[in-house]
């Protein structure tokens, strides 16, 4: 913090007057660069511990799409129809993705090649998120500097943004997801918007629209901006703060931004057809009316104007609302999307759209998560919002609205913690900078001086040369009553040093916490698992890649792999094989089909697999290692999603015991034990243990003495720690028997029993 | 900066299967071509070594010029298709190892001919009625095939090697025999030839431990073939590298010599009858029986190599160890999964070396340097590895001429 003194010291030359401003500017630049470096460095844990690898699930698709873009060029990418996913439907990938991320990395790749730096596209993708987090820190500096007059607020916000775990969770190296660039765009668009509202300039409004367009191309969360900016404008109008500045900036943003957003094929005509975007359109209409009313008011006597205004508002509102309802009912405007409903009613998804509810990041946030992700910022946040009320200018209104909305959303979905983090950082920085500015002044305030000019509120006089304190107080006078009382300052060195010491300790603890959380919770690639050997050295469990690479090397290039949708992107990216379903989840029925195949008996599943030309089935099985994220634990979601489409054939109740327990041991229900998923998971697992000793280390239960038998599938590959098991779907029997008969016959032959004749006739299969 | 490059070629002049077919200098001969009968083989001993995953044949032959004029072109015949799979040919003078200057060259017959030839040019023409002892050694790739083709995961693997009991020759051979060196005594099948063919009238082949001897035989005309085959136990992987790309880049900035190899491996061993069973594999890991699966590879690198890495298409493979000390630098790799018969694995390895160990300045020439780097450093396996095609690129610093 700039600790300027009123006394003439040797450092006075550098911190006061014209040279002082330059020095401070330089210092600020250096600090910002350091912050960016810190933000990048703290995201590199996983690269240092493991390797430069793409993480988790969605990033694998983005990576694959980026490689496609780099290989084939922009237009083929734009028109990309991917027949290697969603077999046999395929996916119009080019028209159903947000291309911003891929295009950005493609441009960086091209640029670096132009500069004769041949960097592997994978490395660009891996380091994309950290690089952009550096930019995000810079953007939040700009944003906060618009909010607060304190010179330290911006820098604090930048460092908070740089290392807050809530943001790191989605931007560590390798987490090549849309959010990697979207959060930067979000903050920067907000900054430009604030700038536009402040200046009332078309240039800033157009820039806002430009970055809004970029944001639309990068992340589905752009709807947040689409609704937040109109809300801000609306609230300002309601507060009677309509001004030509607002009019200019809003109309510029809306017109250009909507056009820009419509350039993205996936968005297309949504901005004028979907309910999610109607608020922006409505406010656009409203602001025209208000603008017109303002104009009329300037021309008319006020009495007549009142009457006219009232009538006009009523008529217009009734007309617009009726029109909207009409359009929604007639189907021209799409009703609110399911994901949107689940934002308001947390139970909605669980009942109506199990596929949304099945994703862990769509669950409501637990309270400790707020502290975990934001640490001390979470209690500075309300204070910061309160600070906004103290000088409630247009931009502070924005922060207040943003804070309220984002807090609500973050409470509804874990994933939306990401949108809350920027405003928390900004608000916390404003609160903290206020405290620091008050207490971090070395000189004792002069009482006489304070009486004359109530300026000694602790802001160092020389800290920011451009601050016009008088004006600030003029603004404050209209605000809350408490601000009218003159602030004097802190006299005692004891309280100064105590508060400063406490804040320093909190900040240090914050850094410690952030580093710890980043290192322990958010830096695992989840493709690679790490464990410790008895001697303390790191042991890497690489079963995913082992199995994926086996698929890639040893199966036909067009062999179709069926797995639960979670692994679709990874199979596409690492194994390079066509999949039935993937994380895109655009076709619920197709996913339910796979769910049905997994949760039914073999006799039912086999025809489904034949019809979908499935060659291999891949399951994730954690029982040997105690890896809890396996398919048996996800199994109920498959059942639920399948039940949503075939309520008569798949029933969730059948998978629970009579006492309502979900079990895999002797007491498991027949439906459970006959399901394909159960059989594939535990097939031959018993052989690893002494008879009757087979243990499931995830469910903590002992398995039945006799393991399941498979007749329509055969085990093709199992990874070292059994995490991935791959089965090959048998071809039809050569002699026209059913697979059950064939297997029974083989068995009978081996045992030299004539038992083949005693078979009960299994259901006859017919495959068309 | 000028760098001359030398590739250290090992002790043999290697040539590779596919690359043979694209070589520039070759004589194309009509299919009716028969090598001129200037020579005859007075005595011929052929040794076939089958201890590795590729056969190595050594023919020691005493040749005699039966022409009036001195002759220097000796032809070595191969059956159609075999010549493209010869992985290397070494010609030496058995009596006088210092006599160097032999030149081997492929002569191509038009595609319909049944026989192809290596033309071996002697360093000095052999005068009439004179004799010389040649030692011809060659390796054949992809020549072994597992029989039966499918085996269980823990079964023994048997390999069949078909060959001719008469050594291939373009000339009349007066006396010859063929010795087989097998890896084990477990030989279920070896073709027996009638005693009448044998010069000594003894049982043919004659067995002695792991070595089998066919012959001796009396005079055999040029191009005579007597097909026989042996089937023997060989429970080792038949590692076949379909392609090896090797980049040696010299960096004067980093002052290092970076080597990167990209391997495309296939195991030609018998494929699994049933699919891979992890249970069986995990259980057998305790007593480690011989197996036809490729589990591990060992790369002995140049001493002083550092920064070794082992990656494949989807990232780092954590199951590798690099041991480096003053005397050796070993890179031990385990593929992501054991390579059973018919399975493929593609991977890259690379390492750096200090440039001063590989490059020296030529005395008195100022800016001329000599690079001496290994032409090939593959994995060293007990059972051997064969490569179908090797591409080595040397990347010099920008501006080098």
CB spacing of A545 vs B336 below 8 angstroms: yes
Find chain A residues with C-beta within 8 A of B346's C-beta.
Answer: 553
Handedness of CA A159, A160, A165, A170 (dihedral sign): negative
ipTM over the 0.90 cut-off: no
Q: Which residue in A687, A696, A681 sits closest to A625, CA to CA?
A: A696
B365 shares contact with chain A (CB less than 8 Å) = no
pLDDT in tens, A457-498: 444 444 444 444 555 555 554 555 555 555 667 778 888 889
Candidates B295, B315, B346, B347: best to mutate against A (most CBs of A within 10 A) is: B315
To the nearest whole Å, the CA of A544 is away from the closest chain B CA by 10
CB pairs under 8 A between A and B: 63
Q: Residue A218 phi/psi, 5° resolution?
A: -105, -30
pLDDT in tens, B115-160: 888 888 888 888 888 888 999 999 988 888 998 899 988 889 999 9
Q: How high is the pLDDT of residue A465?
A: 41
CB spacing of B314 vs A717 below 8 angstroms: no
Find chain A residues with C-beta within 8 A of B277's C-beta.
Answer: 684, 715, 718
Burial of A94 (0-12, 13-18, 19+ CB in 10 A): buried
Are A182 and A219 in contact by the 8 Å Cβ rule? The answer is: yes
To the nearest whole Å, the CA of A123 is away from the closest chain B CA by 11
CB spacing of A717 vs B275 below 8 angstroms: yes
Are B117 and B77 in contact by the 8 Å Cβ rule? The answer is: yes
Task: Specify which residues A193 forms β-bridges with.
Answer: none
Going from N- to C-terminal start, the domains of chain B cover 27-233, 239-395
Residues of A with CB under 8 A from a CB of B: 50-53, 528, 540, 542, 545-546, 548-550, 552-554, 573-574, 684, 687-688, 714-720, 722, 728
Distance from C-alpha of B209 to C-alpha of B206, rounded to nearest angstrom: 10
Locate the chain B residue with the closest alpha carbon to A716: B275
B206 in helix, strand or coil? strand
Find chain A residues with C-beta within 8 A of B318's C-beta.
Answer: 528, 540, 542
- In eight-state DSSP terms, residue A239 is T
Distance from C-alpha of A150 to C-alpha of A467, rounded to nearest angstrom: 9
Distance from C-alpha of B86 to C-alpha of B104, rounded to nearest angstrom: 13
Distance from C-alpha of B316 to C-alpha of B325, rounded to nearest angstrom: 23
Find chain B residues with C-beta within 8 A of A719's C-beta.
Answer: 278, 337
Distance from C-alpha of B88 to C-alpha of A710, rounded to nearest angstrom: 50
CB count within 10 Å of CB B298 equals 13
Locate the chain A residue with the closest alpha carbon to B335: A546
Distance from C-alpha of A742 to C-alpha of A745, rounded to nearest angstrom: 5
Handedness of CA B77, B80, B84, B87 (dihedral sign): negative
What burial letters (b/e) apply to A31-52, b meaning 16+ CB within 10 Å?
ebeebbebbbebbbbbbeebbb
Q: Which residue in A356, A729, A726, A675 sits closest to A563, CA to CA?
A: A726
To the nearest whole Å, the CA of A66 is away from the closest chain B CA by 15
Structure tokens at A499: 């508060």
Q: Which of B275, B279, B346 sits opposite A553 (nearest CB)?
A: B346
To the nearest whole Å, the CA of A558 is away from the closest chain B CA by 16
More reliable by pLDDT, B35 or A450: B35
Distance from C-alpha of B107 to C-alpha of B23, rounded to nearest angstrom: 11
User: What residue ranges in B252-305 does DSSP mark as E strands?
Assistant: 256-267, 271-272, 297-301
Structure tokens at A222: 């752009």
Q: Which residue in A684, A704, A691 sits closest to B275, CA to CA?
A: A684
Helices (H), A391-443: 394-412, 417-439
CB count within 10 Å of CB A160 equals 32
- In eight-state DSSP terms, residue A345 is -
Distance from C-alpha of A378 to C-alpha of A413, rounded to nearest angstrom: 17
B342 shares contact with chain A (CB less than 8 Å) = yes
Burial of B388 (0-12, 13-18, 19+ CB in 10 A): buried
Find chain A residues with C-beta within 8 A of B278's C-beta.
Answer: 715, 717-720, 722
What DSSP string describes B243-256? EEEEEEEEETTTTE
- In eight-state DSSP terms, residue A574 is I
User: What residue ranges in A533-686 does DSSP mark as E strands?
Assistant: 538-541, 560-562, 614-620
- In eight-state DSSP terms, residue A484 is G
Candidates A549, A559, A624: best to mutate against B (most CBs of B within 10 A) is: A549
Burial of A507 (0-12, 13-18, 19+ CB in 10 A): middle
Distance from C-alpha of A401 to C-alpha of A426, rounded to nearest angstrom: 13
Find chain A residues with C-beta within 8 A of B242's C-beta.
Answer: none
CB spacing of B314 vs A549 below 8 angstroms: yes
CB spacing of B313 vs A554 below 8 angstroms: no
Q: How many CA within 13 A on the CB side of residue A554? A: 28
Q: To which H or E segment does residue A503 belong?
A: helix A493-521
Burial of A120 (0-12, 13-18, 19+ CB in 10 A): exposed
pLDDT in tens, A709-748: 888 999 999 999 999 999 999 998 888 888 888 888 887 7
Are B227 and B178 in contact by the 8 Å Cβ rule? The answer is: no
Q: Which residue in A211, A141, A224 sits closest to A401, CA to CA?
A: A224
Find chain A residues with C-beta within 8 A of B293's C-beta.
Answer: none
The CATH code of the domain at B27-233 is 2.60.40
Handedness of CA A417, A419, A422, A424 (dihedral sign): negative
Helices A367-374 and A493-521 cross at an angle (nearest 10°) of 110
Handedness of CA A419, A422, A427, A428 (dihedral sign): positive
Residues of chain A with pLDDT under 50: 1-8, 449-468, 477, 751-761
Q: Residue A607 phi/psi, 5° resolution?
A: -60, -40
Do B27-233 and B239-395 fold alike per CATH? yes
What is the 3-state composition of chain A as percent helix, strand, coil, each rounded to the nearest 5?
60, 5, 35
Find chain B residues with C-beta within 8 A of A553's C-beta.
Answer: 343-346
Which of the following CATH numbers is that of domain A542-746: 3.40.50.12610, 3.30.230.10, 3.40.630.10, 3.90.1150.10? Answer: 3.40.50.12610
- A350 contact partners, CB below 8 Å, separation of at least 6: A357
Q: How high is the pLDDT of residue A467?
A: 45
The CATH code of the domain at B239-395 is 2.60.40
What is the 3-state composition of chain B as percent helix, strand, coil, each rounded to the nearest 5?
5, 50, 45
CB spacing of B275 vs A574 below 8 angstroms: no
Locate the chain B residue with the closest alpha carbon to A530: B318
Q: To which H or E segment does residue A535 belong?
A: none
Are A142 and A100 in contact by the 8 Å Cβ rule? The answer is: no
Task: Categorize the per-residue pLDDT at B8 as very low, low, confident or very high, splitting at 50, 70 and 90.
Answer: very low
Give me the torsion for CA of A333, A339, A344, A346, rounded to 10°.
150
Q: Which residue in A92, A267, A98 sits closest to A181, CA to CA?
A: A98
pTM score, two decimals?
0.86
B337 shares contact with chain A (CB less than 8 Å) = yes
B163 shares contact with chain A (CB less than 8 Å) = no
CB spacing of B344 vs A553 below 8 angstroms: yes
Find chain A residues with C-beta within 8 A of B319's C-beta.
Answer: 542
Q: How many residues does this entry show for chain B?
A: 401
Q: Residue B88 phi/psi, 5° resolution?
A: 160, 145
Going by DSSP bridges, is the β-strand pair B145-146/B158-164 parallel, antiparallel, or unpaired?
A: antiparallel
Candidates A530, A541, A553: best to mutate against B (most CBs of B within 10 A) is: A553
Distance from C-alpha of A432 to C-alpha of A502, rounded to nearest angstrom: 12
CB spacing of A687 vs B315 below 8 angstroms: no
More reliable by pLDDT, A398 or B198: A398
B363 shares contact with chain A (CB less than 8 Å) = no
Distance from C-alpha of A10 to C-alpha of B164, rounded to nearest angstrom: 100
Q: To which H or E segment does residue A696 belong?
A: strand A695-696
CB spacing of B314 vs A728 below 8 angstroms: no
CB spacing of A549 vs B313 below 8 angstroms: yes
To the nearest whole Å, the CA of A51 is away from the closest chain B CA by 7
* Unique residue bearing structure tokens 């103290």: A390
- In eight-state DSSP terms, residue A288 is H
């Amino acid at each position: 913090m700039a600790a300027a003194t009123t006394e003439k010291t040797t450092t006075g030359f550098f911190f006061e007057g014209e040279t002082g401003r330059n020095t401070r500017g330089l210092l600020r630049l250096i600090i910002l660069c350091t912050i960016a470096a810190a933000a990048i460095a703290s995201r590199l844990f996983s690269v240092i511990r493991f390797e430069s690898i793409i993480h988790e699930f969605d990033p694998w698709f983005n990576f694959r799409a980026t490689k496609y873009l780099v290989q084939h060029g922009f237009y083929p990418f734009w028109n990309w129809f991917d027949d290697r996913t969603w077999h046999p439907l395929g996916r119009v990938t080019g028209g159903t993705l947000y291309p911003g991320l891929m295009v950005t990395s493609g441009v960086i790749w091209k640029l670096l090649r132009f500069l004769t730096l041949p960097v592997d596209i994978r490395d660009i993708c891996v380091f994309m998120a950290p690089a952009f987090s550096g930019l995000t820190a810079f953007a939040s500096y700009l944003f906060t500097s618009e909010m607060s007059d304190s010179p330290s607020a911006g820098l604090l916000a930048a460092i908070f943004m740089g290392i807050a775990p809530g943001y790191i969770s989605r931007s560590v190296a390798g987490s090549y997801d849309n959010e990697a660039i979207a959060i930067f765009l979000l903050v920067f668009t907000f900054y430009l918007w604030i700038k536009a509202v402040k200046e009332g300039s078309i240039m800033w409004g157009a820039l806002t629209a430009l970055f809004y367009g970029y944001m639309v191309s990068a992340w589905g969360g752009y709807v947040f901006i689409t609704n937040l900016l109109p809300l801000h404008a609306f609230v300002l109008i309601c507060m009677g703060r309509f001004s030509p500045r607002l009019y200019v900036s809003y109309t510029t943003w809306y017109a250009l931004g909507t056009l820009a957003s419509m350039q993205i094929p996936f968005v297309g005509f949504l901005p004028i057809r979907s309910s999610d975007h109607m608020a922006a359109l409505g406010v656009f209409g409203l602001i025209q009316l208000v603008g017109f009313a303002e104009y009329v008011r300037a021309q008319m006597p006020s009495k007549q104007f009142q009457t006219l205004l009232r009538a006009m508002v009523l008529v217009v509102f009734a007309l617009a609302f009726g029109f909207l309802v009409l359009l929604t009912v007639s189907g021209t405007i799409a009703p609110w999307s399911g994901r949107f409903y689940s934002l308001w009613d947390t139970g909605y998804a669980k009942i109506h759209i199990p596929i949304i509810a099945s994703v862990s990041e769509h669950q409501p946030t637990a309270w400790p998560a707020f502290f975990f992700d934001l640490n001390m910022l979470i209690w500075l946040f309300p204070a910061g919002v309160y600070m906004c009320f103290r000088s409630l200018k247009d931009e502070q209104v924005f922060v207040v609205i943003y804070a309220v909305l984002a807090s609500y959303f973050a409470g509804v979905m874990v994933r939306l913690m990401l949108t809350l983090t920027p405003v928390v950082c900004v608000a916390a920085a404003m609160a903290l900078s206020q405290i620091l500015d008050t207490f971090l002044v070395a000189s004792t305030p002069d009482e006489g001086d304070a009486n004359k000019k109530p300026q000694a509120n602790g802001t160092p006089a020389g800290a920011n040369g451009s601050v016009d304190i008088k004006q600030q107080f003029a603004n404050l006078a209209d605000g809350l009553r408490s601000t009218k009382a003159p602030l004097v300052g802190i006299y005692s060195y004891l309280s100064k040093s105590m508060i400063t010491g406490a804040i320093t300790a909190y900040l240090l603890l914050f850094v410690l916490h952030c580093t710890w959380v980043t290192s322990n919770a958010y830096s695992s690639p989840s493709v690679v698992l790490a464990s410790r050997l008895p001697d303390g050295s790191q042991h890497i469990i690489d079963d995913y890649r082992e199995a994926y690479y086996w698929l890639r090397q040893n199966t036909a290039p067009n062999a179709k792999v069926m797995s639960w949708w979670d692994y679709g992107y990874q199979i596409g990216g690492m194994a390079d094989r066509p999949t039935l379903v993937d994380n895109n989840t655009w076709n619920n029925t197709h996913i339910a089909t796979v769910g049905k195949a997994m949760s039914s008996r073999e006799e039912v599943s086999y025809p489904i697999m034949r019809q979908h030309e499935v060659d291999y089935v891949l399951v994730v099985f954690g029982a040997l290692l105690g890896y809890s994220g396996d398919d048996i634990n996800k199994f109920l979601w498959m059942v639920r999603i399948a039940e949503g489409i075939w309520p008569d054939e798949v029933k969730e109740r059948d998978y629970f015991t009579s006492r309502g327990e979900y079990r895999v041991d002797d007491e498991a229900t027949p439906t459970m034990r006959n399901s394909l998923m159960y059989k594939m998971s535990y097939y031959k697992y018993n052989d690893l243990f002494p008879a009757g000793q087979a243990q499931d280390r995830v469910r903590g239960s002992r398995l039945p003495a006799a393991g399941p038998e498979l007749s329509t599938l055969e085990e093709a590959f199992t990874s070292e720690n059994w995490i991935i098991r791959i089965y090959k779907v048998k071809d039809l029997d050569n002699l026209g028997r059913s697979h059950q008969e064939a297997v029974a016959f083989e068995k009978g032959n081996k045992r030299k029993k004539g038992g083949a004749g005693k078979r009960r006739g299994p259901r006859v299969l017919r495959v068309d | 900066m000028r760098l001359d490059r030398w590739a250290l070629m090992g002790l043999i002049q290697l040539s590779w299967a596919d690359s043979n077919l694209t070589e520039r200098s070759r004589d194309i001969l009509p299919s009716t071509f028969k090598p001129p009968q200037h020579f005859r083989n007075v005595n011929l001993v052929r040794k076939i070594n089958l201890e590795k995953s590729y056969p190595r044949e050594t023919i020691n032959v005493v040749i005699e010029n039966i022409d009036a004029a001195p002759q220097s072109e000796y032809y070595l015949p191969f059956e159609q298709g075999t010549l493209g799979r010869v992985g290397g040919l070494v010609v030496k003078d058995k009596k006088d190892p210092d006599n160097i200057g032999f030149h081997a060259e492929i002569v191509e017959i038009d595609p319909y001919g049944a026989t192809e030839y290596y033309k071996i040019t002697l360093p000095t023409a052999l005068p009439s009625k004179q004799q010389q002892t040649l030692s011809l050694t060659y390796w054949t790739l992809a020549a072994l095939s597992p029989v039966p083709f499918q085996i269980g995961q823990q079964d023994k693997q048997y390999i069949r090697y078909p060959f001719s009991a008469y050594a291939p020759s373009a000339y009349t051979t007066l006396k010859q025999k063929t010795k087989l060196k097998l890896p084990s005594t477990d030989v279920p099948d070896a073709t027996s030839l009638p005693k009448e063919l044998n010069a000594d009238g003894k049982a043919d082949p004659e067995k002695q431990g792991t070595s089998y001897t066919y012959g001796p035989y009396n005079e055999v005309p040029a191009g005579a073939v007597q097909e026989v085959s042996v089937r023997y136990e060989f429970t080792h992987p038949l590692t076949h590298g379909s392609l090896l790309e090797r980049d040696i880049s010299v960096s004067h900035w980093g002052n290092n010599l970076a080597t990167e190899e990209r391997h495309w491996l296939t195991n030609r061993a018998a494929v699994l009858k049933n699919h891979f069973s992890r249970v069986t594999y995990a259980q057998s890991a305790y007593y480690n029986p011989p197996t036809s699966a490729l589990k591990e590879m060992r790369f002995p690198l140049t001493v002083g190599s550092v920064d070794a890495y082992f990656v494949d298409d989807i990232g780092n493979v954590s199951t590798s160890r690099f041991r480096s000390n003053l005397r050796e630098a070993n890179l031990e790799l385990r593929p992501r999964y054991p390579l059973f018969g018919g399975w493929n694995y593609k991977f890259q390895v690379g390492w750096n070396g200090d440039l001063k160990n590989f490059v020296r300045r030529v005395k008195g020439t100022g800016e001329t340097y000599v690079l001496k780097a290994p032409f090939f450093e593959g994995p060293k396996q007990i059972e051997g590895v064969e490569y179908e095609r090797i591409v080595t690129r040397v990347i010099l610093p920008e501006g080098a001429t």
